[in-house]
Amino acid sequence: MIKRTVQEQLTYLKKGVAEIIREDELKAKLEKSARTGKPLRVYLGVDPTAPDIHLGHTVVIHKLKHFQMLGHTAIFLIGDFSAMIGDPTGVSETRPPLTRQQVEQNAKTYLDQVYKILDREKTEVRYNSEWLGKMPSYDVVRLCGHYRLARMLEREDFRSRLDKNQPISVHELLYPLLTAYDAVALESDVEIGATEQKFNMLVHRDIQREYGQSSQVALTMPILVGLDGERKMSKSLGNYIGITEAPREMFGKLMSISDELMWSYYELLTDFAWPVIIRLREEVRTGVLHPMDAKMQLAHNIIAGFHGEEAAKKAADEFRRVFRERQAPAEAPRRNFRRGQPKRLAALLLELKLVPSRSEAERLIKQGGVEIDGQRVEDVKREIDLSKPAEFLLRAGKKKFLRIVIE
């Protein structure tokens, strides 16, 4: 627990935040907490719609951790009931609800991953089926009576679908109201969510007032940009870093981001305070610190949080050996071949899935991006003799190594 004044807490909590609704209310709640000694109740609601978490998902979890580090009560709410309805946020059509079995399987692995960030002993874990699963139909109707349809249809994705004559199911309209009751049941002071959750969080504030509670503060976090530097991190786009990936893979991916994007990752994925990040950025700007060294420090910090210091150090050492000193990794993957007819190197690269196409293989060879046992190959017509036993190390691009064994 970090002991800080109200102003220091506010400054620390604002790091990386997109919007606080409202900041004066948060300050007042922090002041009351300091005066009474009663910690704020801060929650993050997550629907377990997939079994694995990538770094983009951890942005909001890190902010919950910051509240926890300041001594406030961190509540990780698993939306096991609401996940079966499906939040329509960001979708252009009705989303098929998940089954109970799918939700339970996803929730089981979720917690193991979340505890790599949050303190297991100090985290209050709740499931919204505790109250939503027991809510009588009368209370559901009463809950719906607290909100107007016209306001619900102001939501951007609903309005867009209406304009395009796309269907909206009634259960989708219920989602923001049922999750609003989560805030009522938890008697929360603060809710954390992504910017795309803003509409839902505003509904939650309104419903709390309708049930005689003080409105919680809504704190929204930006969407993390993926490895391509343009779109949000997403598995479907392939620009993600999974937190259960091997340290070596995570390190390589983190080192591939642009120097400018690095600062966003520092801001959203680490516990470094603003002054520390500002100092690092200034050191890079003035040439005191090389951008690659700053990025390696970022990668080490992130990986140590999920895999431990030793794994982070080993991944860093591997990166230096492979990418800075252009040596092969200590344990390059093996690929065995039966003896046969000679094969062109470009065709072999494609067969090994080291390139997406034959033309890309030829381009890589021409640019000097392919080596055999450390010797660059620039002849696109080069053939590999597969007729007799042999072993060699093949490098394609900067990151891909394979030990080829011909038997």
Q: Express as a percent the part of the chain with pLDDT over 90.
A: 45
Q: How confident is the model at residue 364 (pLDDT cuts 50, 70, 90)?
A: confident
Stretch 356-374: mean pLDDT, rounded?
A: 83
Q: Residue 341's pLDDT band (boundaries 50, 70, 90)?
A: confident
329: pLDDT confidence band, cut at 50, 70 and 90?
A: low
Q: How many Å apart are CA 206 and CA 156, to the nearest integer?
A: 18
> Is this prediction's pTM over 0.85?
no
Alpha-carbon radius of gyration of the chain = 26
Chain length of the chain: 407
Q: How much is the average pLDDT of 207-235?
A: 92
Cα(69)–Cα(74) distance, integer angstroms? 9
In whole angstroms, what is the distance from residue 45 CA to residue 37 CA? 25
CA geometry: angle 255, 355, 389, nearest 5 deg: 110
Q: Is 97 left (phi over 0), alpha (psi -120 to 50) or beta?
A: beta
pLDDT greater than 60 at residue 89: no
> How far, in Å, CA of 46 to CA of 107, rounded?
9
Residue 331 pLDDT > 70, yes or no?
Answer: no
356 pLDDT exceeds 90?
no
**What DSSP designation does 368 have?**
T
Asked if 5 and 11 count as a contact pair (C-beta separation under 8 A), the reply is no
Confidence (pLDDT) at 92:
44
Query: pLDDT confidence of 96, banded at 50, 70, 90?
Result: low
Query: In the predicted model, is pLDDT for residue 91 greater than 80?
Result: no
